[in-house]
Amino acid sequence: MERIVNKRINEECYRIKHKSGCTIMLYPMKGFSTAYALFGTRYGSVDTTFKTAKDEDYVTVPEGIAHYLEHKLFENEDCDAFALYAATGASANAFTSFDKTAYLFSCADKLEENLEILLGFVQKPYFTDETVAKEQGIIGQEIRMYEDAPDWRVFFNCLQGMYEKNPVRIDIAGTVESISHIDKYLLYRCYNTFYNLNNMVLAVAGNLDVDKVLAVCDKMLIASEDPQLSVKVPEESDRVYKRRMIQELPCATPLFNIGFKLPAKEGSECYRDYILYNLMGEICLGKTSDFYNRMYESNLINNNFYVRAFNGRGFFGLMAEGESADPDKVYEEILKEFAKLKKEGISRDDFDTIRNKTYGEIVGMFGGVESVASNLLEFELAGAQPYDLVDFIADITFEDVVNALKNFDEENSTISIIKNKI
C-alpha cells in the first residue's frame, strides 16, 4: 500500500496495486457521512483499433461500442444491477467518455455491500443475440435525439473541424450505421480486452474503512493476466482539418464553438498543459478580461460565453464557446485579441487574480466525496498523480503563461456554428 501525501493542502490518499491486477485508490474523509465509488476502465469511444499480445494484428471495431457495452453490463443472467442497488438505497449510474468508461454509486451506508454489487456485475458480462438487438433500438433513439440537439452538434462539429482521423471526432455513442454492426461476439471481445483488471481502477472516497474495502476487493476481484493491450491512434496532422463548420438546426440564437488545436500530451504533462492553457484562456478571454467586457457591452456575446481547455488521451485543445447573433465577428475579434496580447503582453495582476481563484477552485474539489473519487479515477487512468492539479497551479509562473501565449498559434483553429433553420 502506497500512502500519497500532499503537504500543501494537508491531504492524503492510498494507492494499492491489488494482486488481481486492479489498481485501487482510496481516500478516507473524516467527518463525511457518505461514500462515492467508481470502477473504471481505460476504454472510451476513441479506442476503436487495438490488439493484445495474443493478436497477430490490430482489429478495428464499430464506433460506439464502448458506450454500447456500458449499457449492456447492467444486465446479467441473474438480474438487473439497478434492482440490487435499489435494495441497499444506493444511487447508481455509469458513463462513457472519449477515453474511459466508469460505473459508480453513492451511498450513506452499506458501503461494503454496494461495493460487492459494483465489483460483481461489472465482472460478469452477459450478452445474447436478443438483448443486443433490443439495445440497438434504444441507443439508436438516443443517437437521433442528440443529432437534433444544437449544443451537442456544435461541439462535435467543432471536433470534426479540428480532427480529420482521430476518433474523438465521432459521437461517443457512434452512429446508427456503426452500431448496426455490433453483435455479442464483438461485445465479448471488447469486454475481454478492455475490462481486464490490469486496465482498470477502483476509486472510493468518503466515509470508508480501508481494511474493510480491501477485504471486499480480496473477495470479489478475479485475478487476470495482463493482456499487454495496445491501442492504435491514427496519425493526425498538427493543423486543423477544416476551418469552418456550419449546420442549420432550430435555435433562438446562433451557437458557436471555436477550437484551437494543440499538441496532445500524456500523463502529468497533459494536466500541466490543462492548467497552463486554462489560465491563458481566462486571462485573455475570460469573464474578468477586457475582451469579455467589450464583447458583452457590444452585445456580441452574453453570459453563456466560456473558454476552457479540452484534454484527453490523444487530443488537446482550447475552446471558446457561446451564443452570438454574429459568431464570425466574435471569431474575428478573438483572433485579433490573441495577436494583440502577444505584442502588448498580459497583466501580472490579472495572472495573480486568476491563478489564486483557480487555486481556490481546485482545492475546493477536495471538499466533496464525488469530486475526490472522480479525480482519483481520472488521474490514475491517465497515468497522472492525484494532486497534480494542486501542485501545477501552485507552481505555475507568470512567465509560463507569457511563453505559452507567445507560442500559441491562434490561426490553427476551427469555428463551428449552429444557426437557426429557416
Annotated catalytic sites, by residue?
70
Q: How far is the first Cα of the chain from the last one, in angstroms, to the nearest whole number?
A: 62
DSSP designation for 365 = G
How buried is 26 (Cβ within 10 angstroms: 0-12 exposed, 13-18 middle, 19+ buried)?
buried
Nearest to 313 by CA among 275, 270, 274, 277: 270
Nearest to 49 by CA among 200, 165, 197, 171: 165
> Can you tell me the distance from the alpha carbon of 87 to that of 335, in angstroms, rounded to the nearest whole number?
55
- β-strands 49-51, 35-41: how paired? unpaired
> Can you tell me the distance from the alpha carbon of 29 to that of 307, in angstroms, rounded to the nearest whole number?
32
Contact 311, 360 (CB under 8 A): no
Q: Which three cell numbers stand for residue 374?
A: 472522480
Nearest to 210 by CA among 372, 388, 2, 40: 2
Question: How many residues in total does the chain contain?
Answer: 422
Contact 1, 14 (CB under 8 A): yes
> Can you tell me the distance from the alpha carbon of 245 to that of 193, in angstroms, rounded to the nearest whole number?
36
Nearest to 213 by CA among 202, 225, 224, 223: 202
> Can you tell me the distance from the alpha carbon of 225 to that of 211, in angstroms, rounded to the nearest whole number?
25
> Can you tell me the distance from the alpha carbon of 368 to that of 381, in angstroms, rounded to the nearest whole number?
20
Torsion, Cα of 92, 98, 99, 104 (10° steps) = 0
Q: Which three cell numbers stand for residue 390?
A: 494542486
- β-strands 244-249, 49-51: how paired? unpaired
Torsions phi, psi for 223 (to 5 deg) = -60, 140
Sign of CA dihedral 53, 59, 65, 69: negative
